[in-house]
Amino acid sequence: MATLEGIAIEQRLVDHHCHGVLMRDLDRAEFESLLNEADRPSPLGTSLFDSMLGLAVRRWCPPLLDLEPHTDADVYLTRRQDLGVEEITRRFLGATNTECFLVDAGLAPESISSPVDLAELAGGEAHEIVRLERLAEDLLNDGVEPRAVPDRLTATLENTTAVGAKSIAAYRTGLDLPAAKPARDDVDAALFDSQPGASGHRLVSPVLSGWLAWTAIEAGLPLQFHVGYGDSDADLRYGDPLRLTPFLRATEERGVPVLLLHNYPFHRHAGYLAQVFEHVFMDVGLATHNTGALSAAVIRESLELVPFGKMLYSSDAFGLPELYYLAAVLFRRGLAAALQSLVSADDATDDDADRISALVLNGNARRVYRLGPEDAA
Amino acid sequence: MATLEGIAIEQRLVDHHCHGVLMRDLDRAEFESLLNEADRPSPLGTSLFDSMLGLAVRRWCPPLLDLEPHTDADVYLTRRQDLGVEEITRRFLGATNTECFLVDAGLAPESISSPVDLAELAGGEAHEIVRLERLAEDLLNDGVEPRAVPDRLTATLENTTAVGAKSIAAYRTGLDLPAAKPARDDVDAALFDSQPGASGHRLVSPVLSGWLAWTAIEAGLPLQFHVGYGDSDADLRYGDPLRLTPFLRATEERGVPVLLLHNYPFHRHAGYLAQVFEHVFMDVGLATHNTGALSAAVIRESLELVPFGKMLYSSDAFGLPELYYLAAVLFRRGLAAALQSLVSADDATDDDADRISALVLNGNARRVYRLGPEDAA
Amino acid sequence: MATLEGIAIEQRLVDHHCHGVLMRDLDRAEFESLLNEADRPSPLGTSLFDSMLGLAVRRWCPPLLDLEPHTDADVYLTRRQDLGVEEITRRFLGATNTECFLVDAGLAPESISSPVDLAELAGGEAHEIVRLERLAEDLLNDGVEPRAVPDRLTATLENTTAVGAKSIAAYRTGLDLPAAKPARDDVDAALFDSQPGASGHRLVSPVLSGWLAWTAIEAGLPLQFHVGYGDSDADLRYGDPLRLTPFLRATEERGVPVLLLHNYPFHRHAGYLAQVFEHVFMDVGLATHNTGALSAAVIRESLELVPFGKMLYSSDAFGLPELYYLAAVLFRRGLAAALQSLVSADDATDDDADRISALVLNGNARRVYRLGPEDAA
């Protein structure tokens, strides 16, 4: 069987959900603010380095910058700046051993790399995932007439080179999406009603998020949903994947994959949905690096019900190159620990563990997104 | 203390919730479709053998068919057909060492064994659990006047030889049942409104499910609720046992046991209810075999709050004889692992572990359903 | 590193949420009724000693009464009575090694000790936490005109010597508190509408619970919320901390700490809130002793997302002196086990473990409640 160290290194990854990396140097406050889903370190609650994620940064990242594991945060950050953002980015992304990134390029403030840049820095390939709500907002912000927007969106999704679409309904109105495609009149009315704010249009409408999700499905695009864990901008109560049940029941017969991202702390709910609905897949991205070494338990819980052909790897990394690396190291280790424990107890064979690893780390994403066969490693 | 192997063999079980076994041979597609709660294997997601349940089938079942553990699925299925359904059923059911099955006979398509057949095949006894919604539907389908149905149902429940009743409200309208018995007028109206579909009447009414549950309680019948995990026909959001809180608060003084079945992923919620309400009991049936070797964690979590006098064993097996066996093996092992870990850490004594095992695997069900003392093993 | 035994003894505790201890002798029925959150032992479900809490009582408490671990419950209770309530209380409270108790004195039937008495028995100091709903009810019960109540409450909270306030909204109307301070007219109307029951006024009003919480925040008082696990009087569905999201979002900029108590089985939800909101803190009190040795898993799960500067210790003990002791022993052991496991796997250093222990067991509470520096131990 692939040993824990083996899974940690050998199997090339498909990271089916990540964002761009930040291509500029950072001071400690900026670094901490990008570390997890808090907006900034709390003056009431001490440093964000004192967290499972902080411990993981200090355990795993210093050696890639030629320092000892568990190096003090300030020493680490100084060394990081000395090497410069391009060098450390190449080191961290390269060490993930990722052969393919699927990049949500819709979250891209200044200095964020494009998918192409990311792939080049990492030594892999990249494909784009189109962010649905952003696509509609861009059209409105570009001055397209509201009544022309739906046809433009449909055409874009039908002709896109993106390998999938992503809905951020959970950040806008929650996951109670409709069990049928909203009527065109209702969509027109919702678009007409949208008023731009200081930073342009921001669509907060279950009709629009629902229509976009249905349109992506009709275009045959694998459809990702932000589910569960994220920043304080989302109300986690409305991010429980069970809220998608009517939508999933209504879309199952289409045969278009639906991918539930993150899911924590509802990862058992996601595993259930992945078992009972043919077209549902899941990952535990974002939660993996945020829970550090304790992610092993989260990964093990996810495996309880999910068919192994329906579990995927993602980092959901954004900004800090460390996060791509930590997600990869921690997910490989957590998966390997779960599988080795099964093998040790004679609950699975070495061959089972190898096959399951290959599916989860690479093969499932290749099949679902039709990425073609795995490259020679 | 009863060792892990000891609990795995010696203590005879009461399986307080199961269904009939399928008495005909099966091809691979049929076998997979009966394996878990998915309707069928997903063309998108590979074989259902690649799951914790599939690993458990391959680990535990082949030896009973004279094959090596971890045998390939196709070899296993061929051997299964060669031996024939009656022979394998005797082997698997006999190996559960179950002395008493409480059978929900209300889910019985063709070729499903009756409780009597099941008991005979297993070398144990069987009692019936009456499925409430089905009882009402049968009366309507038999042409009984809607206004005559309530009295007929009441009389049936008061005079039944069944040892308990089961509500599938979770599959019909969810667990938000009323805190008082619905008025007769409302029940009459709901029955009058029911229109038969292609396969007869199907009651989807909180009034009727509520009235049936209250009527069972009034008849003094231990009342089971489907809770949590099941197939995609139920919306899991409405299957959280906490939704039963008003009903439980209102029925507590009656002293009639209420039994929460399955519960996963809400098993901690069920443990809480079993602690704070005198008449509430729970199990983790169905989830035990579906989560395979990882069920040990589910069982351990269940034990956090539940008084040990209120945890029961059930398989919730249906159709495949393998499922009765896997549920028994995995629950015995999971319970034994949890107890042995407590004993090893000096958090409990051998005597504690033996007493708790005997309660959970047998004694609690005997007391709750008034089944009389345990047979000599 | 502080060894498991070391953490179990050396680090002095701040118990940031507990109640008074019962200063009279008890028979077995009374003892069991105070043991956990059930109203009384269930005749259907055997003794409450058969639970994780009961095992923990028998494992940890007899040695403090000069008996062997795992002593039979009746022998233990006899010895307890022989020694007398004052002697056993001194022994158990002293053995917690708590230097500071923050006491909710609002739950105080006859024979319950005051914070001052508690501190004296334990050899530590004590501060009061004011129970918001109780404060308002006391004014009404004392005959204060409803329209005078709000100003009296505001003045009381602005001038209190209490170090914090506690909301029991979860027990009254649930945690869906308003995102803005309710208008004075609505508060007046709610107070005017309140009618006293047999035991006086009992406020069940989201307007009043919301107004009280907002008033405490405006007074700068650290604000505790009962969340999750409690007795059957609360409906656990309405005690999910995620329901507080709008309130937390609206109060974050005030910089006043909000402390989520208990949280089980929603402790992962609480950890998320503590990460993404600057002013949110959490504990797993009450659940720790109720889940006995299995609390180690609950504590480990809590650590997944919570910044270590935002996790606190509380016992939530009430009545039985054993509960203060068990909470302390079990939380120390659970935290130590989690940290030692990280150190053993090289996921943290000894220094990390020591620093985290000191924060969680003492320093975080001192900082949040402005209690001054830790005493010399």
Chains that touch A (3 or more CB pairs under 8 A): B, C
pLDDT in tens, C171-223: 999 999 999 999 999 999 999 999 999 989 999 999 999 999 999 999 999 99
Q: Is a pLDDT exceeding 90 seen at residue C108?
A: no
Whole-number mean pLDDT of chain C? 93
Q: Using the structure block, give the residue that is written with the tokens 């919320």.
A: C225
Beta bridge partners of B131: B166
Prediction ipTM score: 0.96
Whole-number mean pLDDT of chain A? 93
Q: What is the spatial distance between Cα A216 and Cα A167, in angstroms, rounded to a whole number?
A: 9
Residues of chain C contacting B, Cβ within 8 Å = 36-40, 42-48, 50-52, 55-56, 59, 69-70, 229, 231-232, 235-237, 264-265, 290-295, 297-298
Mutate to test the interface with C, among A48, A49, A50, A262 (most CBs of C within 10 A): A50
pLDDT (0 to 100) of residue A218: 98
Contact: C275, A39; criterion CB under 8 Å: no
pLDDT (0 to 100) of residue B109: 75
State the DSSP string of A138-153: HHHHTT--GGGHHHHH
pLDDT (0 to 100) of residue B376: 47
pLDDT (0 to 100) of residue C63: 98
Instruction: Pick out chain B residues at pLDDT < 50.
Output: 1, 376-377
Residues of chain B contacting C, Cβ within 8 Å = 240, 242-243, 245-246, 248-249, 252, 255, 257, 268-269, 272, 274-279, 281, 300-301, 303-310, 342, 345-349, 352, 355-356, 359, 364, 367-368
Q: Are B16 and B109 in contact (CB under 8 A)?
A: no
Beta bridge partners of A102: A127
Residue C288: which of C318, C320, C262, C259 has the closest Cα?
C262
State the DSSP string of B225-256: EEES---TTS-GGGG-GGGGHHHHHHHGGG--
Q: Is a pLDDT exceeding 80 seen at residue A376?
A: no
Name which of B235, B292, B293 is nearest A245 (Cβ-Cβ): B235
Q: Which residues touch A125 (CB under 8 Å, ≥6 apart)? A: A99, A100, A101, A119
Residues of A in contact with B70 (CB under 8 A): 348-349, 352
Q: What share of chain C is helix, strand, coil (3-state, %, to 5)?
A: 50, 10, 35
Q: Is a pLDDT exceeding 80 seen at residue C46?
A: no
Task: Give the DSSP H/E element, type plus range, for residue B18.
Answer: strand B13-18
Q: Which of A204-208, A267-271, A277-281, C120-124 has the lowest mean pLDDT?
A: C120-124
Could you tell me which chain A residue has the CA closest to the CA of B46? A309
Residues of A in contact with B235 (CB under 8 A): 242, 245-246
Residues of C in contact with A294 (CB under 8 A): 300-301, 303-304
What Rg, from alpha-carbon coordinates, does chain C have?
Answer: 20
Name which of A42, A45, A265 is nearest C272 (Cβ-Cβ): A265
Name which of B44, B292, B297 is nearest A278 (Cβ-Cβ): B44
Residues of chain C contacting A, Cβ within 8 Å = 240, 242-243, 245-246, 248-249, 252, 255, 257, 268-269, 272, 274-279, 281, 300-301, 303-310, 342, 345-349, 352, 355-356, 359, 364, 367-368
Neighbours of A155 (CB within 10 A): 11
Residues of A in contact with C367 (CB under 8 A): 44
pLDDT in tens, A348-364: 999 999 999 999 999 99
Contact: B275, C38; criterion CB under 8 Å: yes
Q: What is the spatial distance between Cα A51 and Cα A291, in angstroms, rounded to a whole number?
A: 8
Beta bridge partners of C225: C167, C260
pLDDT in tens, A112-135: 888 888 888 888 999 999 999 999
The whole-number average pLDDT for the span C152-161 is 97
Could you tell me which chain A residue has the CA closest to the CA of B235? A245
What Rg, from alpha-carbon coordinates, does chain B have?
Answer: 20
Neighbours of C18 (CB within 10 A): 26
Neighbours of B33 (CB within 10 A): 15
Beta bridge partners of B225: B167, B260
Residue A374 has what DSSP assignment? Answer: P
Q: Is a pLDDT exceeding 60 seen at residue A47?
A: yes
How many Å lie between the alpha carbon of B167 and the closest alpha carbon of chain A? 22
Q: What is the spatial distance between Cα A324 and Cα A94, in angstroms, rounded to a whole number?
A: 10
Torsion B3-B8-B10-B12 (CA) sign: positive
For the entire predicted model, the pTM comes to 0.96
Task: Give the DSSP H/E element, type plus range, for residue C42.
Answer: none
Residues of A in contact with C279 (CB under 8 A): 42, 44
> Across the beta sheet with C164-167, what order do the strands follow?
C13-18, C98-104, C125-131, C164-167, C223-227, C258-262, C280-282
pLDDT (0 to 100) of residue B377: 42
Mutate to test the interface with A, among B39, B47, B51, B171 (most CBs of A within 10 A): B51
State the DSSP string of A212-237: HHHHHHHTT--EEEEES---TTS-GG
Contact: A300, B298; criterion CB under 8 Å: no
pLDDT (0 to 100) of residue A6: 62
Name which of B304, B309, B364 is nearest C52 (Cβ-Cβ): B304
pLDDT (0 to 100) of residue A151: 97
Name which of A248, A249, A309 is nearest B45 (Cβ-Cβ): A309
- Report residue B140 as tokens: 């309507």
Chains that touch C (3 or more CB pairs under 8 A): A, B
Task: Give the DSSP H/E element, type plus range, for residue C146.
Answer: none
Name which of C46, C55, C236 is nearest B269 (Cβ-Cβ): C236
Our measurement of the distance from residue C273's CA atom to the centroid of its chain's CA atoms, rounded to an integer in Å, reads: 18
Residues in chain B: 377
Residues of B in contact with A275 (CB under 8 A): 36-38, 51, 290
Q: Which has the higher per-residue pLDDT, A225 or C42?
A: A225
Name which of C242, C252, C309 is nearest A46 (Cβ-Cβ): C309
Residues of C in contact with A51 (CB under 8 A): 275, 305-308
The one-letter code for the residue type at B186 is D
Contact: C249, A232; criterion CB under 8 Å: yes
Q: Which residues touch C47 (CB under 8 Å, ≥6 apart)? A: B309, C32, C41, C54, C73
Name which of C36, C44, C46 is nearest B257 (Cβ-Cβ): C44
Q: Are C216 and C285 in contact (CB under 8 A)?
A: no
pLDDT (0 to 100) of residue C30: 87
Contact: A43, C348; criterion CB under 8 Å: no
Name which of A36, A42, A293 is nearest C345 (Cβ-Cβ): A293
Q: What is the spatial distance between Cα A44 and Cα C224, in angstroms, rounded to a whole number?
A: 15
How far is CA A306 from each of CA A268, A272, B179, C227, rounded to the nearest angstrom? 9, 7, 36, 31
Residues of B in contact with A303 (CB under 8 A): 52, 294
State the DSSP string of B23-90: -S---HHHHHHHHSSSSS--TTT--TTSSHHHHHHHHHSGGGGT--TT--HHHHHHHHHHH-HHHHHH
Contact: B342, C293; criterion CB under 8 Å: yes
Contact: B278, C56; criterion CB under 8 Å: no
pLDDT (0 to 100) of residue B3: 61
Chains that touch B (3 or more CB pairs under 8 A): A, C
Q: Are C110 and C10 in contact (CB under 8 A)?
A: no
pLDDT (0 to 100) of residue C377: 42
Task: Give the DSSP H/E element, type plus range, for residue A260.
Answer: strand A258-262
Mutate to test the interface with B, among C294, C299, C326 (most CBs of B within 10 A): C294
Contact: B44, A359; criterion CB under 8 Å: no
The 3-state DSSP class for residue B275 equals helix
Residues of A in contact with B4 (CB under 8 A): none
Mutate to test the interface with C, among A32, A51, A61, A175 (most CBs of C within 10 A): A51
Query: How would you class B178 by CB atoms within 10 Å of its CB: exposed for 0-12, middle for 13-18, buried for 19 or more?
Result: middle
Q: Is a pLDDT exceeding 80 seen at residue C38?
A: no
Task: Give the DSSP H/E element, type plus range, for residue C204.
Answer: none
Could you tell me which chain A residue has the CA closest to the CA of C301? A294
Q: Are C288 and C323 in contact (CB under 8 A)?
A: no
Q: What is the spatial distance between Cα C293 and Cα B337, in angstroms, rounded to a whole number?
A: 14
Residues of A in contact with B231 (CB under 8 A): 276
Name which of B276, B304, B346 is nearest C38 (Cβ-Cβ): B276
Q: What is the spatial distance between Cα B97 and Cα B92, in angstroms, rounded to a whole number?
A: 9
Residues of C in contact with B367 (CB under 8 A): 44
Residues of A in contact with C277 (CB under 8 A): 38, 232
pLDDT in tens, A231-287: 888 899 999 999 999 999 999 999 999 999 999 999 999 999 999 999 999 999 999
Contact: C47, B309; criterion CB under 8 Å: yes
Q: What is the spatial distance between Cα B324 and Cα B358, in angstroms, rounded to a whole number?
A: 19
Task: Give the HSE-up count for residue B53: Cα atoms under 13 Å, Cβ half-sphere.
Answer: 28
